[in-house]
Structure 1
Amino acid sequence: MTQSLSDIRADIARQLAEGAASRRSACHTPVVGTADADMRVMVLRAFDPDSWTLRFHTDARSPKAQLIGEGAPAGVLFYDREAKVQMRCRGEGRIATQGETVDAAWAASTNFARRCYLGAEPGAISDTPTSGLPDWAEGVQPTEEQVAPAREHFALLLVTLREVDWLYLSNEGHRRAVLQVPAGEARWVTP
Structure 2
Amino acid sequence: MNLSLEEAWKLLREGASDRHSPLHTPSVATVTGDGVPSQRVMVMRAVDQPGRLLRFNCDSRGSKVAEISRKPAVSVLGYHPQAKVQLRLSGTGRIQSSGPEADSAWEQASLYGQRCYLADPAPGSPVAAPTSGLDPAMEGVKPTPEQVAPARTHFAILQIAVDKIEWLYLAHSGHRRALFEWNGTANHWHGRWLVP
TM range (shorter): over 0.9
1:183 aligns with 2:188: yes
User: Which position in structure 2 is the counterpart of 1:111?
Assistant: 111
Please report how far the alpha carbon of residue 27 of structure 1 lies from its aligned counterpart in structure 2 after TM superposition. 1.1
Q: Answer yes or no: is the 8 Å Cα contact 1:19–1:28 preserved in 2.
A: yes
Do residues 7 (structure 1) and 12 (structure 2) align? no
**Which structure 1 residue ranges, 5 or more long, are not aligned?**
none
1:90-109 equivalences in 2 (<5 Å): 90-109=90-109
Deviation at 1:110, TM superposition (A): 1.4
Residue type of the partner of 2:155? F
CA shift at 1:69, angstroms? 2.2
Unaligned runs of 5+ in 2: none
Mark the CA change 1:70 to 1:50 in structure 2 (over 3 Å): closer, same or farther. farther
- Cα shift at 1:70: 7.8
TM-score normalised by L of structure 2: 0.92
Distance of 1:76 and 1:19 partners within structure 2: 13
Q: What TM-score do you get using the length of structure 1 for normalisation? A: 0.94
Whether 1:25 and 2:21 are equivalent positions in the alignment is yes
Aligned-partner Cα distance in 2 for 1:141–1:58: 20
Question: 4+ residue runs of structure 1 moved beyond 4 angstroms?
Answer: none
Q: Pick which of 62-71 and 84-93 moved more.
A: 62-71
SS of the aligned residue for 2:128 comes to coil
Q: Distance in 1 between matches of 2:107 and 2:74?
A: 26
- Equivalent pair of 1:71/1:94 in contact (CA under 8 Å): no
Deviation, 1:71, is 6.1
C-alpha RMSD of the superposition: 1.3
Q: Deviations over 1:103-141 (max 9, x none)?
A: 011011111110100002011111111001112211111
SS in 2 for 1:148: helix
Partner of 1:53: 53
Matched, 1:160 2:144: no
Asked whether the 8 Å contact 1:87–1:167 carries over to 2, the reply is yes
| One-letter identity of the residue aligned with 1:24 | H
Task: Note the C-alpha offset of 1:22.
Answer: 0.3
Map of 1:143 onto structure 2? 144
Asked whether the equivalents of residues 79 and 87 of structure 1 are also in contact (C-alpha less than 8 Å), the reply is yes
